[in-house]
Amino acid sequence: MKLIGKDGLSRFLEIALWVLMAIVVVLLLALPWSITRITGRIPGDPYYIKYLVILAYSGVMAELVLWQCRGMVRNINAGKVFTADTVRRLRVAAVELMVLAGFYGATMFWMSKFFMAFLFIVFVLGGCLLLVLAEVFRLANQYKEENDMTI
Amino acid sequence: MGIIINLDVMMAKRKIGLTELSDKVGITLANLSILKNNRARAVRFSTLDAICRALDCQPGDILEYVPDKGTEIQD
């Protein structure tokens, strides 16, 4: 099975990311109704507001991270794996995850749930991992440029 | 960098064009142009060997060291 290229797994991944982004938009728009339907909280309830803020913020940040992922996969499909753009996207995604982690870290104080602490740790680790990957891609891009300019 | 490639000088001496040299050496016109315009970061021995053979010259005829301004040799 081909992994990278127009008819490879990465092309499927690009389409899947588009679909996922569309689903996130639909879920975001449906939040005011879905919160009531799933949790039973109605508008005006303090928990309703908390759920709305947390989920809406998470949704927006997820959309931003997915956008960067889609850009990276698009670069890969175009045959430009090690580029400055991929490095930038990895860094931006890392920062977005860190910001999301910071938000979950802050919510732990006004919504003391184990789940929030778990997400905080997951997003911090995810952000750190992406930062390291960005550095790896930066070095790979540097080696590639060096190799391209070796005649 | 202090290394200068005098490929154009040797090409003029041998009265050979870029396209002809590219065919003889077996590297693309684009890469040869990078080399000629001093934009290359490194040159493979195999490339140098092919160029020297094609132009009937020594590596020293193509490569020249010119110290950068303000560069000092440190012990």
Say how many domains are in chain B: 1
Domain presence at residue B9: yes
pLDDT at A74: 93
Q: Of B55, B53, B37, which Cα lies nearest the Cα of B45?
A: B53
**To the nearest whole angstrom, how far is the Cα of B3 from the nearest Cα of chain A?**
14
How many CB contacts within 8 angstroms connect chain A with chain B?
22
pLDDT at B38 over 70: yes
pLDDT at B11: 92
Domain presence at residue B39: yes
Tell me which long-range contacts B46-51 makes (C-beta under 8 A, separation of at least 24).
B47/A151, B50/B24, B50/B25, B50/B26, B51/B7, B51/B21, B51/B25
Q: State which residue of chain B sits closest to A150, comparing Cα positions.
A: B42
Tell me which long-range contacts B54-61 makes (C-beta under 8 A, separation of at least 24).
B54/B16, B54/B21, B54/B24, B54/B25, B55/B10, B55/B11, B55/B14, B55/B16, B55/B21, B56/B14, B57/B10, B57/B14, B61/B6, B61/B10
User: Which value, in Å, is the radius of gyration of the alpha carbons in chain B?
Assistant: 13
Domain presence at residue B70: no
Domain presence at residue B42: yes
Tell me the pLDDT of chain B averaged across its residues. 88
Residue B72 pLDDT grade (very low, low, confident, very high; cuts 50, 70, 90): low
User: What ipTM was reported for this prediction?
Assistant: 0.71
The CATH number of residue B22's host domain is 1.10.260.40
Asked if A150 lies within 8 A of B42 by C-beta distance, the reply is: yes
pTM: 0.77
Q: Does residue A1 contact residue A18 with C-beta atoms inside 8 Å?
A: no
pLDDT at B73 over 60: no
- Predicted confidence pLDDT, tens digits, chain A (151 residues): 788 877 889 999 999 999 999 999 999 999 999 999 888 888 888 888 888 998 999 999 999 999 999 999 999 998 888 999 999 999 999 999 999 999 998 888 777 678 888 889 999 999 999 999 999 999 999 999 888 888 8
Give B-chain residues touching A146 at CB under 8 angstroms.
41-42
pLDDT per residue over B53-65, tens digit each?
999 999 999 999 9
Q: Chain A window 132-151: which residues touch B at a Cβ cutoff of 8 Å? A: 146, 149-151
**To the nearest whole angstrom, how far is the Cα of A80 from the nearest Cα of chain B?**
19
pLDDT at A151: 87
Domain presence at residue B23: yes
Q: Can you give the residue ranges of every domain in chain A?
A: 1-77, 82-151
**To the nearest whole angstrom, how far is the Cα of A107 from the nearest Cα of chain B?**
52
Asked if B47 lies within 8 A of A151 by C-beta distance, the reply is: yes
Report the phi/psi class of residue A44: left, alpha or beta, with left for phi > 0 and alpha for psi in -120 to 50: left
Domain extent, residue B47, equals 3-65
Instruction: Pick A146's closest partner by Cβ from B41, B43, B44.
Output: B41
